[in-house]
Amino acid sequence: MRKLLYFVLAAAIFCSCGDKDIDPVQPEPDKPNTEKPEEKPEEKPEETLASKITGEWHCTVSDIETEIYLALTSDKTFELYQKVGEGAFRLYKGAWTLDEDTAMLTGKYNDGNPWGSGYAVTLSEDRNSMTLTPSEGSEKQTYSRKGIPSEVKEGCVVVVKSGSEDPLL
């Protein structure tokens, strides 16, 4: 009987050592990622006062009788169209700078002469009105955002040298 017990035990061990039909744990196949990637908000460049005042302006309030159009471009150049009394507009060109800490606007004409004054800039919340207050003098000027009419651009007299006929800026 002992032999029979050894035989059954050996058969049981032999059967337990064989291949089993039990599947080992299989890793899940790669599933496509159906979750939306985390959207990062588009980073906008910081908006500065200089970028806010860039554009074309028309002087609507001034202490002296004159008509002025001012174009401040993003490349920091300007075109100033000015008409005092009767006659044609005069075009003055140059470069402008703005101190962001003090909101002081300054510039130079193409002939190298600086503006007669720096101007403190105040911009309305809707960005459609700008007041320039000179650091020297008191003739505060208020501008509204308005494109320069083509007849002003086409009929102007280009002033190469600022000379003694200093414009308001």
pLDDT (tens digit per residue) in 77-112: 999 999 988 889 999 999 999 999 999 999 999 999
- DSSP β-bridge partners for residue 155: none
Residue carrying structure tokens 């005042």: 53
| pTM listed for this prediction | 0.67
Q: Using alpha carbons, select from 164, 152, 148, 166 the residue that is nearest to residue 88.
A: 152
Residue 65, pLDDT above cutoff 90:
no
Instruction: Give the contacts of 85 (CB within 8 A, at least 6 positions apart).
Output: 65, 66
Q: Using the 8-state DSSP alphabet, how is residue 82 labeled?
A: E
Which tokens in the block code for residue 114? Answer: 């600086």
Predicted local distance difference test score (pLDDT) of residue 5: 44
Predicted local distance difference test score (pLDDT) of residue 68: 94
Which tokens in the block code for residue 113? Answer: 């002469």
Which tokens in the block code for residue 122? Answer: 């105040």
Q: In the chain, what is the straight-line distance between the N-terminal and C-terminal CA atoms, in Å?
A: 122
Which tokens in the block code for residue 40? Answer: 């990062």
Taking the C-alpha atoms of residue 78 and residue 17, their distance in angstroms, rounded to an integer, is 91
Q: What is the mean pLDDT of residues 143-165?
A: 84
Residue 27, pLDDT above cutoff 70:
no
Q: What angle do CA 110, 59, 89 make, to 5 degrees?
A: 55
What's the CATH architecture for 50-158? Beta Barrel (2.40)
Tell me the longest C-alpha to C-alpha distance in the chain. 135
Residue carrying structure tokens 């650091």: 135
